[in-house]
Amino acid sequence: MLQVAELNQYYGGSHILRGLSFDVKSGEITCLLGRNGVGKSTLLRCLMGLLPAKSGEIRWQGKAINALKPHQRVQAGIAYVPQGREIFPRLTVEENLLMGLARFAGSEAKKVPEEIYQLFPVLRDMKARRGGDLSGGQQQQLAIGRALACRPQLLILDEPTEGIQPSVIKEIGAVIRQLAQRGDMAILLVEQFYDFAAELADSYLVMSRGEIVQRGRGAAMEQDNVRRLVAI
Ligand code: ATP
Ligand code: MG
């Protein structure tokens, strides 16, 4: 389980994350919703250690991880799919996936786990193609596949549906659901696409101007009027 307590972050003089506290439980999908610019990606960057948290505590599996570098957090079982995907456009699909195995040593680091291709068959079909030649949706699947290659126990996704066609959004949703149902992975999904979030969320958090302004169970999102809080 991930536990965040009283997290604060600033860009220069502006207070971007304001005392955030929440948990992300194993076997559950926690959806974090919020409009543009409220601080969602900044929060994820703090969780990954790409930005040091100014104050507050981030605990993972019972231990504070504030002092860990990003690669150490990956080694601790945390995987991150950044907004905009950030795949390597000039490497092949297979090479991109192998990058996700960097935390393993020896033969384990040299072969893409079969499971990744089972979850995303399109990546098997395209494994010799350059990442940059894939469609946006395929690149998103590649970015998720690369994150899963390190067998994380916490998967963090930043707006995976952004700019992606509906058929691929459905496939990505099915994979996220399947991963959660295995029961051993915690998933933190940042989204602005309300319907996608509402379909997947076991629990939800709504962020506004750096604060969590509402939270609850996923099944209650409609009656809690969450749509109103994120509609643009
Ligand atoms: P979006 O939904 O558009 O991705 P977000 O919720 O992820 O938005 P952030 O990217 O976390 O929002 O940005 C939060 C605030 O911090 C915004 O006002 C943004 O302009 C500002 N910001 C983001 N990155 C930086 C930076 N490197 N330096 C200064 N300000 C930044
Ligand atoms: Mg963002």
Q: In this structure, are 6 and 89 located in the same domain?
A: no
The answer to whether residue 94 is domain-embedded is yes
Q: Which ligand is nearest to the CA of 13?
A: 1
How confident is the model over 89-106, as pLDDT tens digits? 999 999 999 988 877 767
Q: Which ligand is nearest to the CA of 15?
A: 1
Q: In this structure, are 85 and 8 located in the same domain?
A: no
> By C-alpha distance, which of 56, 55, 53, 26 is closest to 42?
53
pTM: 0.95
CA 71 – CA 68 distance, rounded (Å):
8
Indicate which atom in ligand 1 lies nearest the CA of residue 38: 6
Judge if the beta carbon of residue 100 lies within 6 A of ligand 1.
Answer: no
Judge if the beta carbon of residue 42 lies within 6 A of ligand 1.
Answer: yes
Full residue range of the structural domain in which residue 142 is found: 69-181
Q: In this structure, are 176 and 78 located in the same domain?
A: yes
For ligand 1, the distance from its centroid to the CA atom of residue 41, given in whole angstroms, is 7
Q: 120, 144 in Cβ contact below 8 A? A: yes
Partnered with residue 81 across adjacent β-strands are 157
For ligand 2, the distance from its centroid to the CA atom of residue 109, given in whole angstroms, is 31
Q: 187, 28 in Cβ contact below 8 A? A: yes
Partnered with residue 189 across adjacent β-strands are 31, 157
How confident is the model over 142-181, as pLDDT tens digits? 999 999 998 999 999 999 999 999 999 999 999 999 999 9
pLDDT at 11: 93
> By C-alpha distance, which of 90, 97, 96, 134 is closest to 112?
97
Taking the chain (232 residues) in runs of 10, the rounded mean pLDDT of each run is 97 94 97 96 97 95 95 94 93 94 73 93 96 96 95 96 94 96 95 96 97 96 92 74
